[in-house]
Structure 1
Amino acid sequence: MADGAAAGAAPEGKKGKKPKRPKRKGWRRIFPTWRMVLGGFILIILLCVGGFMAGYMLVDIPAANSAATKQSNVYLYADGTQIARDGEVNREKVPLKEVPLHVQRAVLAAEDRDFYGESAVDPKAMIRAAWNTVTGKGKQSGSTITQQYVKNYYLGQEQTVTRKVKEFFISIKLDREVSKDDILEGYLNTSYFGRNAYGVQAAAQAYYGKNVKDLSVAQGAYLATLLNSPNAYDVATHPENKPRAAGRWNYVLDGMVSEGWLDKSERTKTKFPMPDEAKGAAGLSGQRGYVVKAVEDYLTANKIIDEETLAKGGYRITTTLQKDRMDAFKEAVDEQVMSKVDKGARKVDRNVRAGGASIDPATGKVVAMYGGIDYTKQYVNNATRRDYQVGSTFKPFVFTSAVENGSVTQDGRPITPNTVYDGTNKRPVQGWSGGSYAPENEDHVDYGDVTVRTATDKSVNSVYAQMAVDVGSDKVKETAIALGVPEDTPDLTASPSIALGPSTASVLDMTEAYATLANHGKHGTYTLVEKISKDGSEIELPEPKTAQAVTREAADTTTSVLQSVVQGGTGTAAQGAGRPAAGKTGTAENDTAAWFAGYTPEL
């Protein structure tokens, strides 16, 4: 045994050699060893981790794309019904607090029921979508609301692997930096619902003619249904698709029930809410464009919002205009003016323009406006333009100034409605040092001695030119400005001719001035805007300011004289109002414009 032990030992001082691993032969050569598999797996993990870290560090959250932030301004009547939207993008951003909880939950039930509890991305859906896109099996989008919001707000709608990668990393970063509520709010305001409606507020108006806060559960579920296929599921446009749309709608409601967001009994009672018929884009046709332009001018002129800021959109502007009065105004113009125009038979009728405005004298609010037959056909607003002479509608301001200033005639008689003047045609004015001025009366009529009241009824130029001198044309100008005629009105010059109305104030300017007379001499600058807000926050408006422009005696005495014009003078047509009225007619030089300015106790 000792000999055997010695024979098995290695010679002293020499190391034993490691036996060689037998070579792999046959079919085993085809398969990698377990070491190769492990090494490859570790390498893939390292590459994935390294790629993730590199992508996370290199891909930043970009600025929002311009299409996602562009909004329209919404213009509303005083009762909240819509007048118009400006801009090409039909979007109105609303804060999440204004979206009813049942509408929020309907969207979650349709698109991402685990939104509040899940991570920003769904890797499996991302891989599946990318694979299907690459292999041509159909374009797929990301599945989570966060990913869809990133696509809508930061990226674009193209379905490419590059965009998917960016979407992946931006979604993860965004989820870490902002709240889930902020992401949901952004998603609701950027998603497309069909009918050119971007965002849930625009969709509520487009499909049901109401604000999102007023949507029912059924209506909210229908809008959530549209997110999957907006055009196909518009059952008013594609009634043949109603079974598919109803199926998706039921899926949404059933999801709300399963998530505990909707009671089963309420679900049972819910009926499919047919949307309103789709309407063509209203644009700015008809009176809409005139209103939008007038409101824009009002906001910028009063330094409430500058033009550049307003152009960015997103404002919800409630005007003082009343829909019933706007409709009545248009009907009256169509019936009394436009129906009598014959563009074929009379060449002059081809250029007929009409404009008007109505102000509540107690509040200064513009309640109605007529800018022209159609903004798309006659671009300039005839209610606000300042290029037509006001004519004899200016004469009442001369008389108001006379009473206000206690003026007397050249021979010392106080100027009252019964003061007698010489109404001879082309009578030179007395007491004027600026040169000879002898205005013609209409149709060259000689009226002889007439009272101020009769001279107003007949619109006698020679009487009022003399009265302007008696009062002082500078004082007449001051009175007109105090009543509401803008100081910078073209051709508002202190001379005897001021009485005949060569100045070119707008219809709205003159309406404001006459409203001061109707309000017993109290003047308040007109207002066109009741309320304005953006993203749910109200913009501060100037406080209305009123002042006693002229004494009550001066205003009411003028009103008495103007009532005579309606009762038996040149304004008898105003008797058709069926209530006490005061007013004055006027024509511009060469009959380029015909006016009537007047008022009732309320308007």
Structure 2
Amino acid sequence: MGRAEDRRARQRGGHRAAPRGRRSSRAVSPSGPAGPTGPGRRRARPGKTGKTGIRRFFTWKKILGTFLGLCLLGIGGFILLYLLVPVPEGNAAATQQSNVYKYSDGKVLARDGEVNRELVDLANVPKGVQRTFVAAENKTFYQDNGVDLKGTARGVFNTLSGKGAQGGSTITQQYVKNYYLSQEQTVTRKLKELVISLKVDRQMSKDDILAGYINTSYYGRGAYGIQAAAQAYYRVDADELTVEQGAYLAALLQAPSQYDWAAASETGKKLVKYRWNYVLDNMVEEGWLNASERQDMTFPVPQAPQGAPGMEGQTGYLVDAANAELARQLVAQEAAENQEEALALVKRGGWTMTLNIDKKKQDELEQAAKDQLISKLDPEKRKVDGNIQPGAVSVDPKTGKVVAMYGGEDYVKHYRNNATRRDYQPASTFKPVILAAALEEAAETQDGEPITANTVYDGDSKHQVMDNGKKVGFAPPNEDDVDYGDVTVQTAMNKSINAVFAQMGVDVGMDNVMEVADQLGMDTEGMQAVPAQTLGSMGASPLEMAGIYATLDNHGKKVTPAILASAEHKDTVVELPDPVGEQVISREAADTVTSVLTGVVDDGTARKSVRENPARQGQQVAGKTGTSDFGRSAWFTGYTPDLVTSVGLFGEDAKTGGQVNMAGATGTLPGKGRVNGGGFPAQIWAAYTFGVMDEVTEFDLDTTQGAAVKPSYTPTTPTIEPTTESPTSEPPTSAPPTSESPTRTPTQTPSQTPTQTPTQTPTTEPPTSTPTDGTTPENPLFPNDDQ
């Protein structure tokens, strides 16, 4: 053995290399025979121990094998499913049925089941319009096999990751869902949709699939199919649609109700415009539209909607309200994915719905609106009269049933339901919510005095609202800029003094105010908790305000107004929630607000129309007037122990649908006066309420402040009348008002009332920055009601 080999042998522990081709049966080291601990025994390398524990079961080979096995099993299962699931007979057009709507006594109100659909051949739809739908929904439509696995997987991932329910459906899949299947959201239905889509794509041409899709889809306004949609939105046939109009209809399919231009919120309008642009940009990207043509296109605003035949008068409003409520329940019970799918499911027919509407009360409400308002309007002589839109809702506070609803003069003439619209400000009808929050939260003034009906506040116009000694930058004027000096909360409610409730809102904490508003039934989503909300600057509907006041009337137990009594479809009965819920504010807080609101009727802004009404016969009434900025809305929401009714008037331009002053650009009718809540709204309310009243009742109130609370502090009111300049007043004799709430504790008896009130109406125009609730000139249409 050479030296190199000898050296290597020594390095291996003294072993001498065995000759090639044979292996020594025993290795001998220079130090002796190799033993258990001898240098000749080869030691295991560190980390090379045997596989133990969980690693023995999860190797990469086993994981890969399991994965491949599952894939094969899934493929095999899908092949079996493909073989077993046939393409069913189409049911969308063949199984349409009527919906039957009944009054609470079982008498039929309406039948509405004839589907507004007219099938058209694809050849009668302009090529550019056809492509808008492909650009909007499925750019790969002409290349795919009917399904989009990537899109489906992406939709599932987005849904599971919390980005909202999202689908990856192709046009073929949506057509299959519309025509062959139901709208239910189940795994079984989705698997069937996938299989049937693959088969339909093989059996039908792309043009036939596209024609089926645009003819079976729901576009809103009761329109199924592109022909009905073209008529509903643009008053043209499908073959006359432009690319711009087609792009709007294609964009509309994503959310028909939200994107309907006539009913959409500002956000909804922005969203549909964004999607309209998205559709056209996709067409340019696909080479279906010239870029220069695209540049010249403008958004095609749809025409105002029209009511469906047979839905004249109040019928259409009631039917739509019932459909919307049923759709919300179907979504809540996961029978449909969203409101749009649920409405489509409802309008497919086969439903029997019994409404809570009491026919006698419904007729009385319609008659009251006609006698007190509609008969006095003459749009031909006074164009502004055509801008007045009334709406009202009447609720039983003990059951939550909507017993009557007035949506407008005629559903066919004015499609939108004024009773459920929430795009106008409730104005001063929000003030009771602020007081309810103060009482519920046991709030105190800036000086630590408990807020009650008798707490004294500075009622001067443009009083600087303070928060812990700091100005919050909010100083709203009172109606006509009148200074009231020191007043009690009761007087402030009676006279609807903005300055008092602005300060009270900050005292309570606007977060607390909005929380209580939400508990009482106001939809506060997206609302900012800022002092300006104390003026009722948010949007609300008569239905919503009726629910809030019904909760107060029901001693603080939540009332969610319900128009549906029952809904059945074949053998299925939809379970409806109880309209009366849990206690959301204390009984004492709710009852104290009620007691204060009796003063508004007996000694405040509603006294002329309600207190002095001969049909009242001693009936106790609580309520609040409200008039929004620029006379765009006027309200009276009032209640007896057994009935709550909210009446609103809304200024809507008869041509554009935009919000306008009901009395014209000047805010007054020539030589007559301004709009206010104690006029038409209170008159309609009184005529209806006292007309259906069976007996005279009194409130059963649990409050230490009693019913019809009288101010216990007598403020000294201004003696100098407002002028055309900024109104002035002599300071109260007791103490001058300051920029903070007065801290004086009332010392006089409840029987005493303010001894002086402003005696002259200012000649200036009403303030244009705040809701108005003050004195107005006598006016046959809008009479003096607010003082």
**TM-score class normalised by the smaller sequence:** 0.5 to 0.7
The RMSD of aligned alpha carbons is 2.2
| 373, 376, 383: which one aligns with 2:409 | 373
Contact 1:72 1:87 in 2 (8 A): yes
Gaps of 5+ in 2: 1-87, 117-307, 336-341, 644-787
Structure 2 residue identity aligned to 1:599: Y
Contact 1:73 1:313 in 2 (8 A): yes
Contact 2:400 2:580 in 1 (8 A): no
In structure 1, the partner of 2:498 is 461
Aligned pairs for 1:499-514 (under 5 A) are 499-514=534-549
Taking structure 1 as reference, are residues 66 and 557 closer, same or farther at Cα in structure 2, changes over 3 Å only? closer
Structure 1 residue identity aligned to 2:382: R
Contact 1:84 1:288 in 2 (8 A): yes
Contact 1:84 1:282 in 2 (8 A): no
Note the C-alpha offset of 1:346.
2.1
Structure 1 residue identity aligned to 2:100: V
Contact 2:465 2:471 in 1 (8 A): no
Structure 2 residue identity aligned to 1:555: A
Note the C-alpha offset of 1:297.
1.4
In structure 1, the partner of 2:602 is 567
Q: Does 1:294 align with 2:329?
A: no
Aligned pairs for 1:261-276 (under 5 A) are none
Note the C-alpha offset of 1:542.
2.9
What secondary structure is seen at the aligned counterpart in 1 of 2:389? coil
Note the C-alpha offset of 1:295.
1.2
User: Hey, what's the Cα distance between the residues in 1 that align with 2:467 and 2:606?
Assistant: 31
User: Hey, what's the Cα distance between the residues in 2 that align with 1:537 and 1:298?
Assistant: 17
Contact 1:365 1:527 in 2 (8 A): yes
Note the C-alpha offset of 1:545.
5.3
Q: Does 1:405 align with 2:441?
A: yes
In structure 1, the partner of 2:425 is 389
Note the C-alpha offset of 1:65.
7.4
Taking structure 1 as reference, are residues 289 and 597 closer, same or farther at Cα in structure 2, changes over 3 Å only? same
What secondary structure is seen at the aligned counterpart in 2 of 1:440? coil
In structure 1, the partner of 2:574 is 539
| 87, 96, 103: which one aligns with 1:70 | 96
| 421, 444, 458: which one aligns with 1:422 | 458
Q: Does 1:594 align with 2:630?
A: no
In structure 2, the partner of 1:471 is 508
Structure 1 residue identity aligned to 2:536: G
Q: Deviations over 1:486-532 (max 9, x none)?
A: 132x6x32111111100101110110000000000110322111111
TM-score of the superposed pair, with normalisation by structure 2: 0.43
Note the C-alpha offset of 1:344.
2.4
What secondary structure is seen at the aligned counterpart in 1 of 2:487? strand
Note the C-alpha offset of 1:544.
4.5
What secondary structure is seen at the aligned counterpart in 2 of 1:381? coil
What secondary structure is seen at the aligned counterpart in 2 of 1:354? strand
In structure 2, the partner of 1:431 is 467
In structure 1, the partner of 2:261 is none
In structure 1, the partner of 2:709 is none
Taking structure 1 as reference, are residues 465 and 68 closer, same or farther at Cα in structure 2, changes over 3 Å only? same
In structure 1, the partner of 2:161 is none
Taking structure 1 as reference, are residues 533 and 409 closer, same or farther at Cα in structure 2, changes over 3 Å only? same
Aligned pairs for 1:114-153 (under 5 A) are none
| 484, 491, 508: which one aligns with 1:447 | 484
What secondary structure is seen at the aligned counterpart in 2 of 1:598? strand
In structure 2, the partner of 1:84 is 110
Note the C-alpha offset of 1:283.
1.2
Contact 2:548 2:559 in 1 (8 A): no
Contact 1:74 1:82 in 2 (8 A): yes
Note the C-alpha offset of 1:345.
2.7
What secondary structure is seen at the aligned counterpart in 1 of 2:467? coil
Note the C-alpha offset of 1:339.
1.9
Which moved further from structure 2: 533-542 or 333-342?
533-542
What secondary structure is seen at the aligned counterpart in 2 of 1:355? strand
Taking structure 1 as reference, are residues 412 and 319 closer, same or farther at Cα in structure 2, changes over 3 Å only? same
Q: Deviations over 1:363-393 (max 9, x none)?
A: 1111111000011111110011111000000
Structure 1 residue identity aligned to 2:409: I
Structure 2 residue identity aligned to 1:505: A
What secondary structure is seen at the aligned counterpart in 1 of 2:390? coil
Taking structure 1 as reference, are residues 596 and 553 closer, same or farther at Cα in structure 2, changes over 3 Å only? same
Contact 2:522 2:544 in 1 (8 A): yes
Q: Which structure has greater helix proportion? A: 1
User: Hey, what's the Cα distance between the residues in 1 that align with 2:319 and 2:555?
Assistant: 31
Q: Does 1:333 align with 2:373?
A: no
Note the C-alpha offset of 1:406.
0.7
What secondary structure is seen at the aligned counterpart in 2 of 1:318? strand
Q: Does 1:585 align with 2:642?
A: no
Count of residue correspondences? 352
Q: Does 1:283 align with 2:319?
A: no
User: Hey, what's the Cα distance between the residues in 2 that align with 1:400 and 1:584?
Assistant: 14
Structure 2 residue identity aligned to 1:296: N
User: Hey, what's the Cα distance between the residues in 1 that align with 2:487 and 2:626?
Assistant: 19
User: Hey, what's the Cα distance between the residues in 2 that align with 1:601 and 1:65?
Assistant: 50
Note the C-alpha offset of 1:413.
1.2
Taking structure 1 as reference, are residues 282 and 328 closer, same or farther at Cα in structure 2, changes over 3 Å only? farther
In structure 2, the partner of 1:354 is 390
Which moved further from structure 2: 335-344 or 537-546?
537-546
In structure 2, the partner of 1:37 is none
Structure 2 residue identity aligned to 1:528: I
User: Hey, what's the Cα distance between the residues in 2 that align with 1:78 and 1:65?
Assistant: 32
Structure 2 residue identity aligned to 1:553: E
Gaps of 5+ in 1: 1-61, 91-280
Structure 1 residue identity aligned to 2:479: E
User: Hey, what's the Cα distance between the residues in 2 that align with 1:553 and 1:545?
Assistant: 18
Taking structure 1 as reference, are residues 529 and 435 closer, same or farther at Cα in structure 2, changes over 3 Å only? same
Taking structure 1 as reference, are residues 408 and 533 closer, same or farther at Cα in structure 2, changes over 3 Å only? same
Contact 1:316 1:533 in 2 (8 A): yes
User: Hey, what's the Cα distance between the residues in 2 that align with 1:501 and 1:544?
Assistant: 25
| 378, 385, 390: which one aligns with 1:342 | 378
Structure 2 residue identity aligned to 1:443: D
What secondary structure is seen at the aligned counterpart in 1 of 2:403? strand
User: Hey, what's the Cα distance between the residues in 2 that align with 1:526 and 1:354?
Assistant: 19
Note the C-alpha offset of 1:64.
7.6
User: Hey, what's the Cα distance between the residues in 1 that align with 2:533 and 2:444?
Assistant: 18
Look at both structures and tell me which one has the larger radius of gyration over its CA atoms: 1
Q: Deviations over 1:22-70 (max 9, x none)?
A: xxxxxxxxxxxxxxxxxxxxxxxxxxxxxxxxxxxxxxxx948766521
User: Hey, what's the Cα distance between the residues in 1 that align with 2:441 and 2:379?
Assistant: 48
TM-score of the superposed pair, with normalisation by structure 1: 0.56
User: Hey, what's the Cα distance between the residues in 2 that align with 1:322 and 1:540?
Assistant: 21
Taking structure 1 as reference, are residues 70 and 465 closer, same or farther at Cα in structure 2, changes over 3 Å only? same
Aligned pairs for 1:189-204 (under 5 A) are none
Q: Does 1:483 align with 2:509?
A: no
